[in-house]
Amino acid sequence: MKKIYFILLSFLISYSLVAQSIYPGQHTGKIKQPLTGEVKAFSFDLNEIRLLDSPFKENMDRESKWILSIGVDRLLHSFRNTSGTYAGREGGYMTVNKLGGWESLDCDLRGHTTGHIMSGLAYLYASTGDVKYKIKGDSIVKGLYEVQATMLDNGQKGYISAYSENLINRNIAGKSVWAPWYTLHKIYAGLIDQYLYCNNQEALDIMIKAAAWAYQKLMPLTDEQRKLMLRNEFGGTNEAFYNLYSITGNPEHKKLAEFFYHADVLDPLAQHHADLNLKHANTFIPKLIGEARNYELFSDERSKDVATFFWNTVHDHQTFCTGGNSHKEKFIKADSISKNLTGYTQETCNTNNMLKLTRHLFCWDTNPRYADFYERALYNHILGQQDPESGMVAYFLPLLPGAYKVYSTPENSFWCCVGTGFENHAKYGEAIYYNDGKGIYINLFIPSELTWKEKGVKITQETQFPNDENVKLTVSTDKTIKMPLYLRYPEWAKNVEVKVNGKTVRVQQTPSSYIKLDRTWKDGDKIEVRYPMNLHLAETNDNPNLAAVMYGPLVLAGVMGTENMTAPAPFSDPSQYNDYYTYDYHVPANLQTSLRLDRKNLKDYIEKQKGLVFNVKSDNIRLEPIYKIHRQRYVVYWNIVE
């Protein structure tokens, strides 16, 4: 019987069309609604890309162990508790070891992690093909199906959550409550991902019933009630319903997505007015991802303009050298980077959502500026969020000189950035390659294999980047194929060198562009590219004398030791589990924050040593990429003394 089960399961897996999130070109066979917005590039499905050995794959492997270590019964406990679903007892007592932190039974956000983990498991399954991720995802979905059935029996019309529907009622009434629709979004997104990635029909059935409940709940509301409700954070609920509509074509799902249009936030952006100061950043960004989906599905030019204007505003006026943004989760006054270098900068969720928005914008016009930003934020923030020793993740990437990364705990944190961390480190393959229907864009230099089934071609990328400047691409194909390859020429590079089968190709392009190689390729053809990496400064946008040292796309930080440091996971005391706003880094008073340099001759002052280690000779300061620095103090922005 077991053998028959695995044969059937293998059959289902082989016909499962999976992909990361919903971007143009993905989910063939499952997306019923065609795109009407103009796009120039399409995303590959995650199951067409395999990561090869690299720091990215190491992060993914560590994260997968954490996800697999959290029992399904523990993830379902609060759902079962709320619905009264029987979960099994021993001696009359529940045997489930309850989760803590933001998943505790007294937290308004409980259940959000289960949604993130459904997405993370789906991405891991797509990225690896390993059935263990699908099996665990199926188990979670099965449990949620039973919970929803219990609620239906009790007259709750499809509601699915780890907390009572009364939290939604409080939100509608404008009463004190954290963010119930935010949490529902994570569950909805996880269910949609389980359907798209893992071919789980039950997940889609749950989501359709949940949408029916939401429609009955929301449509009778007055406009004043709606406005009051939308003042509270609701994550990407609009995006989730647009994505559901793209699958079902049900006009009720489109109407639900439109219901979450937040006029107070989006209308000023449509007028190109961006007063973002003190606005909660991660409340804002998902609204724009929803607008991006509205453009792609319905050619709404206003939505396209709003999303683009917002991205440019955040990128140009709010973004630190690492690609992150915000102070204590809120946007800062425009062009005031130097005044906001605190221990609470750069919420990781913000960067996660900015990268999601960036992918949509890149698909629309293939502007290499989006790829440049994606690379910078990926390497300097997302890759370095995870502690390689414990696998735990950081809420903030602090820029206070002398601060350090503060990590979560395995079972007593479950912050929002833990949730997005379960997704981030499972989907590194998502933005390496794109296609325009004819050829392939190579946007990121990450060891990987791309199989473009439609064209019958495979690209293998071998590189030690950023430890090494060289990238080698090998073409594998059963028959010759005429196809352009678009090699990204990064903004930080100069004098890029390209060879095809050992012969030098003349490069006429300039930084932040694409080198087009349009030719007939045969099996075994090789492309060798050298991307020279140089030292340069990233000045704050309000003080040219305060700057970070960079090497190519990498932010180099000063490694400043461990004096007076608390343990890297300081929240072992339950009273401090959520003390990330007031955490005291106890920075030594004598910490050095200045460097003596000549801006025009950085190489004379900064010596490259083994690997990615540098030494500032005038001050004897050790510099390393910020993503590699863990469990030590660091300095990113320096007072530059000429």
Tens of pLDDT along 315-332? Answer: 999 999 999 999 999 999
457-463 vs 448-452, strand pairing mode = antiparallel
Amino acid 212 reads A
For residue 550, pLDDT beyond 80: yes
CATH architecture of the domain covering 435-530: Sandwich (2.60)
Output the CA–CA distances (angstroms, integers) from residue 590 to 73, 254, 401, 563, in the order listed. Answer: 50, 58, 11, 11
> Which residues have a Cβ under 8 Å from the Cβ of 424 and sit 6 or more positions away?
348, 352, 382, 385
Give mean pLDDT, residues 109-114: 98
Q: What is the pLDDT of residue 199?
A: 96
* Contact predicate 240/181, CB 8 Å: no
pLDDT band at residue 1 using 50, 70 and 90 as cut-offs = very low
Top pLDDT among 277 and 581 is at: 277
Rounded-to-integer distance, Cα 173 and Cα 153, Å: 26
Residue linked to tokens 């963010």: 179
Q: Is 279 exposed, middle or buried (0-12, 13-18, 19+ CB in 10 A)?
A: middle
* Contact predicate 80/143, CB 8 Å: yes
Give mean pLDDT, residues 418-447: 97
- Domain residue limits, the chain: 435-530, 535-640
Least confidently predicted of 67-76, 92-101, 293-302, 572-581: 572-581
Cβ of 124: how many Cβ atoms within 10 Å? 29
Directed axis angle between helix 237-248 and helix 180-198, to 10°? Answer: 30
For residue 593, pLDDT beyond 60: yes
Q: What is the pLDDT of residue 557?
A: 98
Q: What is the pLDDT of residue 5?
A: 36
Which residue, 182, 194, 280, is CA-closest to 235? 182
Which residue, 341, 315, 311, 314, is CA-closest to 328? 341
Rounded-to-integer distance, Cα 555 and Cα 552, Å: 8
* Contact predicate 356/596, CB 8 Å: no
pTM of the model: 0.94
pLDDT in tens, 159-205: 999 999 999 999 999 999 999 999 999 999 999 999 999 999 999 99
Rounded-to-integer distance, Cα 538 and Cα 381, Å: 16
Give mean pLDDT, residues 613-634: 96
Rounded-to-integer distance, Cα 431 and Cα 360, Å: 11
Q: What is the pLDDT of residue 354?
A: 98
Q: What is the pLDDT of residue 208?
A: 98
Quick one: tokens of 113?
A: 């992690």
- Spell out a b/e string for 52-66, using b for 16 or more CB atoms within 10 Å of the CB, else e: eebbbbebbebbbeb
Cα–Cα–Cα angle for 516, 554, 362, nearest 5°? 40
pLDDT band at residue 578 using 50, 70 and 90 as cut-offs = low
Q: What is the pLDDT of residue 551?
A: 98
Rounded-to-integer distance, Cα 189 and Cα 130, Å: 21
Residue linked to tokens 């072992």: 572
Rounded-to-integer distance, Cα 276 and Cα 272, Å: 12
Give mean pLDDT, residues 270-275: 96
pLDDT band at residue 13 using 50, 70 and 90 as cut-offs = very low
Give mean pLDDT, residues 291-317: 98
pLDDT in tens, 471-518: 999 999 999 999 999 999 999 999 999 999 999 999 999 999 999 999
Chain-wide mean pLDDT for the chain? 93
